[in-house]
Each structure stands twice: as structure tokens, then as C-alpha cells.
Structure 1
């Protein structure tokens, strides 16, 4: 006797207890970030600060050649002198136990599911940038960013290498039902005698609002 079981789309959808809601994909969702960036130039010994905003809007979804459901994001930028203008397209998808992002012609493995403290994975598994062993440092932790009180966040150390002449530190934080809320990068060279930064850049991108 053959028994046929049926299930609807919602039953097949990723479930929150797996942690998929740290990487939400929903058409018309929108996240705005404040960005503070500093560039160090040893050619003319200058330090330049840039302050601007970025806005990510999920505009569409489609099926890719692998048969996966992919979401298209449009990123816009706003400065003190220019209103929102289009910057780039980003695509994101969840496949089995991983969250992937394609940006600037590179594919990254941003999250794995379910998350556990100290779980690790190679964020550059699908590109040629070398092994970056990501590690979850904080899990399901409340966090306040400006006026935004977030109930549950994950902190990820993407890469860290620090020595007397160089610092490379990459960190990201994700919040439930929002996604990325903080991205912090420091990639600088230093004077070996004084520790003063000579060239490179650092920036912090953090949540301003979402809907």
C-alpha cells in the first residue's frame, strides 16, 4: 500500500529555531546603515574621514541555474552632498545550512545554520581570497545600537591577524529578523617603532533603521 504525504510551502520554509531569521530574505524589506570610514595615505601623510549612509532594499527574487531561490538587493548611497543614488546589486540566498552572498563579483559564505558558540567555517569557501576561518563569538545576545534595542544578535569574528606592522580585523554582527546590523573593518599598516598607522583604512557600518 502506497501512502502519499503532502506538505505545503510554509512547512518546507526555513524554521526560526534553526537561526534562519538571522539572515531574513523578504521582498520590499529595507535596512539603512550609518557608515564612518577613515582612509590613511602615506604618500602625502593624509587622513581622510568619510561619513555617509547605505540603504539595502530587497527588490525581487528569482531561481538561479542551480535551482535555488535567490533574492536581489539594490544598494543605495547617500552623502552630505548627494541624495540616495544607486551603487550596486547584491544577491543572497539560503541553501541547506548556509547563507550565501554575492557582492562585487565574489561569493561569500556569511552564516551557517544552526548557530552555536565557537562554530567555525571558511567564509571564502566559494571564492579565491584565501581561507578566512569565521567564528561565532556571541550568540543570542541583546544589543543596543543608537536608539535601536535588539533582542538577539550574533557576533562573528571573520578574520583577525595583528602584529607589529599590520592589523587586519574583520567583524560582523547579525540581528534576528533584520540581518546584518554591524560590519567593522580595520586593515592598516603601522610604524614598527611607534605603532602609528601609516596607511590603510578602517570603517564601521551600523544599523540606523529598518522596515
Structure 2
């Protein structure tokens, strides 16, 4: 092997080793931006809520709006430095917002947590992989609720907004002649939760058209930004 060949193979070997080293040391994208935590970020939702209770003579459909906003730092119920998660309500678009709740949110140990009504829940687990499972109620006293990623890094759209990358978390999907429970949440990268669906209906006499008690809640993003 002549000097030119030795030099060529030497340079090639160094390049391969260097490239391998760079790939090995590249940081892993955990996709934390599915749950943005920057102060001032907000999302506005249109909400439809149905409540049924035959025993109380209740059968109502409500329409209103919710705005969630990331606030300043706060100490959560675990003594950790988290962020305020502010929830505002109004009945119509021409009414002023009314602050209804101050919860807290945090990303820690590879999990996005939301403390709502003093109940610490795990909303997302990073990095998202399809069918990854976890108990969203692992840190509270509520009934165990296993959830999983049914869709990851998929494009989606809602109310005229298009998102390049979204994930969907399935929390409940059960239907028989007694109950119908369905619950999922969808998150867009750089935005946060853009769609929530919740249904818990109970039927009478094995008739799935005769709902005697239950609730359905649908939240759909109509605006987002930073204030």
C-alpha cells in the first residue's frame, strides 16, 4: 500500500470514528414542547358540555369558553417549584374572562404533571412512543387509570388550525349495554392540548339510546398565543 492509499484510508477511518462519536453524543429529543411551559402562553377553547341525570330531572347542554394560561412560578402541593396554570371562563365571546381556577403544572422526571383540584395527574410521559402506557392517577388517591399514546407525531387540524406534529393520549375506551366511557386528549407540538373528549354515559334496561345518567365534555382549540 503506497503513501497515498495509507493517507486516504487514515482520513476515512478518522471521519467514520468522528461521525460515530457525534451521533452517539447527540442529545435525544424528548419532545417536551408538546407541553409548553413558557410564561404567558395561552389556549382558548370552545366547550360543549352535556349533563344528564334522570333522577334529578336534569338534561342540559351548555356552551361556553375556557382559556388556560401559563403563569408565574408557584410552589405546588409537593413543595416543588412549578408554574401557575390559570383557567378562565366566560359564557360568550363578548364577555370578559373570569379567573376560575389556579392549578399548577410541571415537567419533571420525564413526565408532564398537572395538579387540578389538588389532584396530581400525569398528562404526558416523555419521550412519546406509540402505545407507551402509564397510570395517570399514580400520584393521587383516585382510581387507577391506565392510558397510552394511540397516535404520535402525526399531523392534525382543528377549527382552521393545522399542526405538523401531534400526539393523542387514550384514557378510556369502553362500551357495552350498561356504560359508554370514552376519554382522550390530543396535544400539538409547541402548542399544548388542542382537543379533549370525555364521555361517561350510563344506560337503562340495556338500551344504549336511553341514557339515564352521564356527562359529555368536548373542548376544541379556537385560539392560542402568548400574552
TM-score band by shorter chain is: 0.7 to 0.9
1:97-116 to structure 2, matched below 5 A, reads: 97-116=110-129
Structure 1 pair 105/67, CA: closer, same or farther in 2 (3 Å)? closer
Contact 1:98–1:110, Cα closer than 8 Å, also in 2: yes
Structure-2 residue corresponding to 1:12: none
Q: Distance in 1 between matches of 2:74 and 2:212?
A: 45
Deviation at 1:31, TM superposition (A): 0.8
Deviation at 1:63, TM superposition (A): 5.3
How high is the TM-score relative to the length of structure 1? 0.87
Gaps of 5+ in 1: 1-14
Structure-2 residue corresponding to 1:31: 43
Secondary structure of 2:71's partner? strand
After superposition, give the CA deviation of every residue in 1:31-60 in whole Å (9 maximum; x if it has no partner): 101101111121255421101100111120
Gaps of 5+ in 2: 1-26
Contact 1:45–1:198, Cα closer than 8 Å, also in 2: no
Secondary structure of 2:33's partner? helix
Which of 172, 186, 208 in structure 1 is aligned with 2:222? Answer: 208
Instruction: Return the index of the structure with the highest Cα Rg.
Output: 2
Q: Are residue 87 (structure 1) and residue 100 (structure 2) matched?
A: yes
Structure-2 residue corresponding to 1:138: 151
Deviating beyond 4 angstroms after TM superposition, the runs of 4 or more aligned structure 1 residues are 63-68
Q: Distance in 2 between matches of 1:16 and 1:178?
A: 21
Q: Distance in 2 between matches of 1:45 and 1:82?
A: 30
Structure-1 residue corresponding to 2:18: none
More helix by share: 2
The Cα RMSD (Å) is: 1.9
Structure 1 pair 42/65, CA: closer, same or farther in 2 (3 Å)? closer
Aligned residues: 197
Q: Distance in 1 between matches of 2:78 and 2:215?
A: 37
Q: Are residue 54 (structure 1) and residue 66 (structure 2) matched?
A: yes
1:72-83 to structure 2, matched below 5 A, reads: 72-80=84-92, 82-83=95-96
Deviation at 1:90, TM superposition (A): 1.4
Secondary structure of 1:209's partner? strand
